[in-house]
Structure 1
Amino acid sequence: MNEGRRLARIISNARKVHPKTEIIVVANGSRDGSDRLAKKMGARVITFKDPLGHDVGRSVGAKAAVGNILLFLDGDIIFTASSMKRLVRAVKNGVDVALNKYNGSLEKKKVHSVVLAKYTLNHILSLQHLKGASLTAIPHALSRRAVMKIGAENLAVPPKAQAIAANEGLMIEAVHYFDVGKTNPRKRRGPKDPLKELIIGDHLEAIRYVLDKTDQRDGMTDTGRLRELVKHL
């Protein structure tokens, strides 16, 4: 949405990732001619007059894609082709969900609530080795198998998509570090972060999915508690 200033470089770098790369641009309520620029550069453009909402474009693009490996980018952060190739290579070698290693910092007196949400979800999914790596962060790549198992429509809620991937037994790995915190030209930090509540809500939806698939404790034991005794007190 309105990323005309950077979109040309992003498309150019994405095209270098693989000789048969299919570039799909979802123009999500743009008013700056981003869709025309993308078409001029030979991308397949899917245009929506009104904004779809955060991350919905991922579902749209995934449903339209025909490739065996899907690489997801945003229109405002530029990555080198060589770094993005690492994600694609990982999927070629058997990884279903290749994530950015960006975790967010825990070395703070007050850790950002979104960072905590990412670590918490991975802990619930028994994916502690991922730390804070998440489908919420770009870039990331998915195998065709992963898209089929997760469902393209669920990619609109990245944490839920990650929970589904774990539940389906897909191989999820943090592959390469991309510092999206420093390179994002639209840093959203602090109490006025407009996406914070949305992303936390997405993680709660993911946790709800996990609980629905297991039980109220996600299959974890209640240690030594004898809660049934409370009824007799």
Structure 2
Amino acid sequence: MHGQPLYSSTVALEQSLARQIAAGRCEVRRRTSPQFSEACQPGFFKAYAGNINCSKCPPHCFSYGEGAAICRCETGFFRAERDPPSMACTRPPSPPRNLLFNLNDTSLILEWSPPSDTGGRRDLTYNVQCKRCGPEPDQCQFCEEELRYLPRQLGLTNATVTVMDFSAHANYTFEIESLNGVSEMSSFPRPVAIITVSTDQGGPSLVGTLKKDWASPNSIALSWQQPEQTPQGILDYEIKYYQKIF
């Protein structure tokens, strides 16, 4: 039994395919190698090489050229070091809102509302800065060393802080700063809310110079200057003494 020539079968197959293509019943697809991938178009990116789909640039990002591995942030927006390429670029938050204080004899409580614009991030924190000012606006100096903050002064996660060890009859100016994960990357001025607190409603200020008038083995006489500012009458003075151990 004789078989048909091989070339005649090949020609017949090619003719059959040509007729199907002409009739629109056959679709020709191009196969690509797994190692081959097309370059992403502008507005898209591909963070990893290989035969994977291109991703559209996230909000506040762009890519102008083809084959982008990452989308660049718009002006005023930033990407933190640990932010993935698929995350939108973000910006620093706006200032805190509704800054208020509550003052009593021993503590000063500052409270505020979160910023209206968090910059698109959730890692929001607050810093507190204090200045003690005199009668003139330029007579201000930082006062962190003389105050105590609860729970702390920097990196607050709640919108409140308690200030301790303040002086009576003084003017304190507090700045509450909003921060997030990209605040350090911005060159713009930090967003702050400012409030000035006068502690005149507290008790009298400290007495003036303390002087030893005389002393004996069993007693001592002391004298001092009366406080300069006494909005209320002074009822008595309290003296504390401690034994000094050498």
Shorter-chain TM-score: which interval? under 0.3
- Return the TM-score normalized by structure 1: 0.23
Larger radius of gyration, structure 1 or 2?
A: 2
Greater helix share, structure number: 1
